Amino acid sequence: MQETTVTFQPTEPRPAPVHQTKAIAWLRSNLFGSWFDTLVTLALTGLLLSFVPDLIRWLFVTATFQGDDTVCRENGGACWPFIIEKFQVLMIGVYPQDLAWRPAICAIALVVLAWLTYWDRIRGVALIVAWAVLPIFALIMIGGAFGMQEVDQSVWGGLMLSIMLALVGVIVSIPLGILLALGRHYGSPAIKVLCVTFIELLRGVPLITILFMASVMMPLFLPPELVINNLLRIQIGLIMFSSAYMAEVVRGGLQAIPKGQSEASLSLGVSPVYTVAFIIVPQALRHVLPPLIGRCIALFKDTSLVIIVGLLDFLGMIKSAALDTDWLGFQAEAYVFAALVYWLICYSLSLYGRQLEKRGPNART
């Protein structure tokens, strides 16, 4: 009967090492793969350790979230009440407070349209029309028309102005860039020379020079009745600069389209204009979507240069806030906030672009 008392003895459960070994394997292959990788990893870790703790302390631990400048100075860390107080001026400049809802509506319209585009809810002609109408709508809302109280352009400012400059710049310079690229690719020799000259002239000059020309020199050469306001001149400068770069991006796309595409369309009796508009350009744009989005991001960042010709865009407002005598000594907070906002917007644009690339037949095949 001895046998019956033998109890089942389970062996020790083995450790569940999956995650650990996975993590170790990952570390080994990615960070400590060779002596050189190990060296780089250690050096970078050291570098991070040397400033990240201090940064976190400054940003959060010793930072002030409520109170005034005296409290801030006592705590010694970052002074967020400063940013909170300046928030509105950073967003819309000295735009009248009681009308702030107007740019807010524009911002909502922009987000909604971007959302609809992102989820493919709006396509084709409607998509193009919607994006073309958006800046016009924004100009009317912000500037005032049709009985709405008018707001002079001299008080447009802050992030609103930066986004406005970039948005109008992108939306106008993409079609212009397409036309320039088409002229360079398909045009008669005269048109070709014209397009190439324009593109190469503008690409050969720093943006600051163009902005100075638009702001300072254009009024000198134009008859007084033709002088348009400073903001519009600078917007035109930005558009010209951007369209030259867009043109080069689009040209790359045009070159990638096989000749058979236009031949097929032409042989069906479709006119050359429609062939270019519906067969060539859509495919070319799809090819160059990543660099095109890159140009949009670059243009948004470039708008920060308009501070030099006296516009108070987002960065301009940051700068003037940093000089406020009530809040002296809090420049760092202002620029950290500026960097954060620029990064947030540019990184979202970049993610947005990546999502757009995934769509379309290129991704489906």
Separation between Cα atoms, residue 147 and residue 133, nearest integer Å: 20
Closest separation between CB of residue 176 and other proteins, Å?
23
DSSP helix/strand/coil, 79: strand
Q: Do residues 303 and 169 touch, judged by C-beta distance below 8 A?
A: yes
Pick between residue 11 and residue 267 the one whose CB is nearest to other proteins.
267
Neighbours of 243 (CB within 10 A): 26
d(CA 318, CA 174): 30
Q: Which is nearer to other proteins, 4 or 267 (CB)?
A: 267
Which residue number, 279 or 288, has a Cβ lying nearer to other proteins? 279
- Could you tell me the sign of the dihedral formed by the alpha carbons of 316, 319, 321, 323, in that order? negative
Pick between residue 19 and residue 358 the one whose CB is nearest to other proteins. Answer: 358
State which amino acid sits at residue 74.
Answer: E
Dihedral of alpha carbons 127, 131, 132, 136, sign: positive
- Of the pair 120, 200, the CB lying nearest other proteins is at 120
- Positions touching other proteins (CB under 8 A) are 258, 260-261, 263-272, 274, 278-279, 282-283, 286, 360-362, 364-365
Q: Which amino acid is at 25?
A: A
Of 215 and 283, nearer to other proteins (C-beta) is 283
Say if CB 81 and CB 65 are below 8 A apart: yes
Report in angstroms how near the CB of residue 267 gets to other proteins at its nearest. Answer: 4
Q: Which amino acid would we find at residue 319?
A: K
Smallest gap, in angstroms, from Cβ of residue 166 to other proteins? 28
Our CB check for other proteins shows the closer of 274 and 347 to be 274
Min dist. Cβ of residue 117 to other proteins (A): 17
Smallest distance from other proteins to CB 275, Å: 9
C-alpha 18/C-alpha 282 separation (Å) is 48
Handedness of CA 219, 222, 223, 228 (dihedral sign): negative
Least spacing, CB of residue 282 vs other proteins, in Å: 5
Report, in Å, the least distance between residue 296 CB and other proteins.
21
What lies within 8 Å, CB to CB, of 1 at 6+ separation is none
Distance CA 68, CA 327 (A): 9
